[in-house]
Chain A
Amino acid sequence: MSPLWPLPALLWAQWRSFVNLRAGESRAGRLLPAALALVWYALWTSLALGALVLLSKPARAELAVLLPWGLMSVFLYWQLAPVLAASLGASLDFRKLRIYPVPESRLFAAEVLLRLATGPEMALVLTGAALGLLRNPAVPAWAPLTALPLYVLFNLLAAAGMRGLLERAFTYRWVREALALALVLIAAAPQVLVLRGPSGYLPLLRLHGPSIYWPWVSFGRLAVGWFGPQDWVLAALWSTAAYLFGRWQFGRSLRFEPAAARPQAPVRPRRSMGGERRLRLPSAPLPDPLGAILEKELRSLARSPRFRLVFLMGFSFGFLIWAPLARRPGGFSENYPVLVSVYALLLLAEVIFWNMFGFDRAAASLWFLAPVSFRYVLAGKNLAGAVLVTAEVTVVLAVCALLGVPLHPLKILEAYGVALTLCLYLLAAGNLSSLRFPRPVNPEHSWSRASAGRLQILLLLLYPALGAPVGLAYLARWALDSEAVFFALLAGAAAGGVVFYRASLAGAVRLADRRKEFFVRSLSEGGGPLLTQ
């Protein structure tokens, strides 16, 4: 047996998984990800070139200050990338390999190598950095050639451990949801920087460089050849720590039993009585089957992490992302609640409009088995959408009030009016798109795309068209400077929305009848509840 066994087989399986992930998609479906990948790697290549140019300049003292920041960013990226790769299914689940006669040390070696495959961007950037340092006359050639490969190994070992740790933590739903929201909020960090202004932070970074005990400082100083003996000691200690951490966490993950991690105590009711009442309230005045469908939808969506994430994003991420506009003079601050409400509506759109049967997956066939007209099914789902949009706008306005954003009564009316009018148009189009482009969605997956690739492209055209009637009302207000004209046109847009909605509902019912088989088959593929994964 080869001394490398079974590394080639594992790397081959990883490679085939990666290739097959894309091979199953249609040509059109592959085009968009390929274009995005091209842009993505072009961006990282330009960063690598930037590192090359920057690190070629012969100022060793400056390099020793600058490089650790770069190496720290590399470290952070490398630790998070495996988690995202695992959620995309492009990483082998080593727990599935426990039935085979492979020693744990070999599996760990394979895992460490695979971490390289999940952070190729960082390998690219570090190659650029190494080439820059090699071109730098002030840096001895051996320094980057020794320190940077060691830093890569340190990152791979730590990433192997981090992946194990996060993977186990992610078996707890609340951890998954909290992290997803945290990542989303981090994405809005540049907006906060814009608010404070870069001058507020950069001096702090310059004054308080990272402590010399951090690994990126030791490896950075080694890489520029400007080091003391303590840097070698610290680099060795950090590498050993990374190995021990990686091995420990990998072993724990390999033997991890999700069943043992679940609480064994008697199951408590999922919600308080208040929560139960809130979920039943909107459907209480409605007769069945409409009431039953509405209640089912509200319960299902409230328990879906994916829905909860976009709902939370509406009044958290939405606030941060539009925050710079709120500070601008010239009326933006008073339009801020409306802007955030509309943005929140668009965030919800993918879950509650465009693919509204996605979470039902194979169970959607029940709608055709039950003795209920499909018109009621769509109406029930649409009512749930409208209730949730109203709830979202209410929360947005409440947060606005808490943060001291000016809330004129007319602006409150405008926020509800605009959001619900747009909601009518989106529901009308969503009923048709949900039947034409059905796609199963796992409600547990906070990140995966909910609607089909073709629909994503179509939406680029649809959004402006569907928003046009409301846009017309705003245009009139801007041109005539009249609130009365604005609200009159908004009411007209709403009336047009009702007509459009009724027409699309009838069309969707006919479409459901015609495309029943395709619809059920599409929702039963891949993510259906019948499958074991």
Chain B
Amino acid sequence: MDPALDPAQPAPAIRVRGLRKLYGDKPAVDRLDLDVPRGCFFGFLGPNGAGKTTTIRMLTGLAQPTAGSIQLLGLSLPEQALQIKCRIGVVPEESLLFERLTGGEFLRFVGRMYGLDRSTAAARAGELLEFFQLDGAPRKLIADYSKGMRKRLMMAAALIHRPELFLMDEPFEGVDAVGARMMKDLLLDQVRQGATIFLTSHVLEVVERLCDRVAILNQGRLVMEAAVRDLRNGAETLEDVFVRLVGAARSPDKLDWLG
């Protein structure tokens, strides 16, 4: 029996069937089928414009699919959107930060949006600010934050309500090495505690090191999905597979004036 259909098995963290998104006539995501098991660290890769961000936007309810179905944690989107949102943490690529708040004010606000009482929201906000090393300038507005600080703040906001599923679009982009290491350790710890992480990244080494499974999207279509362990057993690295599947090798001959 297909484990996906076995009622004794918990539903996968993410189940997507025939997902499609058209901008005009152009498909940004084209008939995507994907299952992400619970407790999995899942890397979602693809070149620029492949449809990764559009997929995450659809999974988080920020964009309406043109066709197809989405289930997160066994709940259907958009029908059970509110229950889903209570249980997921999102680090989007675009800034969903209110620029005229300080980091602490924003975290307290987000905590209250997830239904935490004021004192819990304030306490968790303080701890998260300290953990992410954002407590150095408590009066600094988000408008004055660097890109790395913004990503760290979004990560902190995604954690404040203890979600079961994280959807993250380039979470390490612009973050310094120390901050990135801190974030990676935290995410691995979350996975050990049973959370599921779905992230996109351009840094293949990071994905190869952190993720259990990877999928590669190219021009809106899924071109590969595999366990990282299986890839390691093969002759190719993830980078080799990625370049083979999505990028025609370019010869530097055309720039002969460089030689």
Q: A435 to chain B: closest CB distance in Å?
A: 23
A265 to chain B: which residues have CB within 8 Å?
A: 24
A101–B23 touching, CB < 8 Å: no
Bound-complex Cα distance A393 to B92 (A): 49
Within 8 A of B (CB), among A258-282: 259-260, 262-265
Residue of A nearest to B112 (CB): A9
Q: Look across to chain B and name the residue whose beta carbon is closest to the beta carbon of A89.
A: B100
Is B241 close to A, CB under 8 A? no
A467 at the interface (CB under 8 A from B): no
Q: Which residue of A lies closest to B25 (CB)?
A: A264
Per a CB cutoff under 8 Å, which of A21, A96, A100 touches B114? A100
Distance in Å: Cβ of A238 to nearest Cβ of chain B: 32
What's the Cα separation between A436 and B165 when bound, in Å?
50
The interface residues of chain B lying within 8 Å CB-to-CB of A260 are 23-24
Choose among A5, A18, A96, A101 the residue that contacts B82 (Cβ–Cβ < 8 A): A101
B105 CB contacts on chain A under 8 angstroms: 13, 16, 20
User: Which residues does chain B contribute within 8 Å of A103, judged by CB atoms?
Assistant: 82
Query: Residues 108-143 of chain B: 1 if any A CB is under 8 Å from the residue's CB, otherwise 0?
Result: 011011110000000000000000000000010101
List of B residues within 8 angstroms of A533 by Cβ: 95, 99, 143
23 contacts between A and B (CB under 8 A): A5-B115, A6-B115, A9-B109, A9-B112, A13-B98, A13-B101, A16-B105, A17-B98, A18-B100, A20-B100, A20-B102, A97-B113, A99-B60, A99-B85, A101-B81, A101-B85, A101-B115, A260-B24, A264-B26, A526-B143, A531-B147, A532-B147, A533-B99
B144 CB within 8 Å of chain A: yes
Nearest-Cβ distance from residue A498 to partner chain B, whole angstroms: 42
Closest A residue to B150 by CB, please name it: A532
A102 interface hit (Cβ, 8 Å) = yes
- In the complex, whether A202 has a CB less than 8 A from a CB of chain B is no
Taking the closest CB of chain A, its distance from the CB of B137, in whole angstroms, is 12
Q: Which of A74-106 contact B (CB under 8 A)?
A: 89-90, 92-93, 96-103
Chain A residues with CB under 8 A of B81: 101
Q: How far is the CA of A8 from the CA of B116 in the complex (A)?
A: 13
Q: Closest CB of chain B to A93's CB: distance in Å?
A: 8
Q: How far is the CA of A12 from the CA of B83 in the complex (A)?
A: 25
Cβ–Cβ contact B113 & A102, under 8 A: yes
Contact residues in B for A17 (Cβ distance below 8 Å): 98, 100-101
B82–A532 contact, CB under 8 A? no
Q: List B residues at the A interface (Cβ < 8 Å).
A: 23-26, 60-64, 81-86, 90, 92, 94-102, 105, 109-110, 112-115, 139, 141, 143-144, 147, 150
Instruction: Specify the chain A residue showing the minimal Cβ separation from B28.
Output: A259
State A102–B114 Cα separation when bound (angstroms): 8
Of chain A, the residue at the smallest CB distance from B109 is A13
Q: Which of A95-151 contact B (CB under 8 A)?
A: 96-103
Residues in A neighbouring B109, C-beta threshold 8 A = 9, 12-13
9 new A-B contacts, CB < 8 A, other than A100-B85, A101-B81, A533-B99, are A1-B115, A13-B105, A98-B62, A100-B113, A100-B114, A101-B83, A101-B114, A103-B82, A531-B147
Output the least CB separation between B82 and chain A (Å): 5
Query: Contact partner of A530 among B25, B99, B114, B147, CB < 8 A?
Result: B147
Q: When chains A and B are docked, how far (Å) is the Cα of A24 from the Cα of B100?
A: 9
Q: Are A100 and B61 in contact (CB under 8 A)?
A: no
Query: Is A481 engaged at the interface, CB distance under 8 Å to the other chain?
Result: no
Knowing A6-B112, A9-B113, A525-B144 are in contact, say whether A92-B98 is a contact too (CB < 8 A): yes
Contact with B along A1-36 (1 / 0, CB 8 A): 100011011001100111011011000000000000
Chain A residue at minimum C-beta to C-beta distance from B143? A526
- Number of A interface residues in the complex (CB < 8 A): 40
- Bound together, the chains give a CA A10 to CA B105 distance in angstroms of 12
CB of A99 within 8 A of CB of B96, answer yes
Q: Which residues on the B side are within 8 Å of A334 (C-beta)?
A: none
Given contacts A100-B110, A532-B150, contact A259 B100 (CB under 8 A): no
For residue A255, CB closer than 8 A to chain B, the reply is: yes
> In the complex the two chains form, what is the Cα distance from A21 to B143 in whole Å?
10
Q: Would you give the shortest CB distance from A21 to chain B, in whole angstroms?
A: 5
Flag if B147 contacts A255 (CB, 8 Å). no
Known: A264-B25, A526-B144, A532-B95. A99 touches B82 (CB 8 A): no
**Chain A: minimal CB distance from B59 (Å):** 11
Does A21 lie within 8 Å of B100, measured CB to CB? yes
Bound CA–CA A533/B92 (angstroms) = 14
A257 contacts the other chain (CB 8 A): yes
How many angstroms between the C-alpha atoms of A1 and B113 in the bound complex?
11
On chain A, the residues within 8 Å of B95 by CB distance are: 532-533
Question: Which residues does chain B contribute within 8 Å of A255, judged by CB atoms?
Answer: 64
- Find the B residue at minimum CB distance from A265: B24
Given contacts A16-B101, A101-B115, A526-B143, contact A264 B23 (CB under 8 A): yes
9 shortest A-B CB distances, which residue pairs? A264-B24, A101-B85, A9-B112, A17-B100, A100-B113, A532-B95, A96-B96, A101-B86, A20-B100
Q: Smallest Cβ distance from A530 to chain B, in angstroms?
A: 7
* A263:B96 contact, CB within 8 angstroms: no
**Which A-chain residue is minimally distant from B145 (CB atoms)?**
A531
Q: Which residues of B contact A6 (CB under 8 A)?
A: 112-113, 115
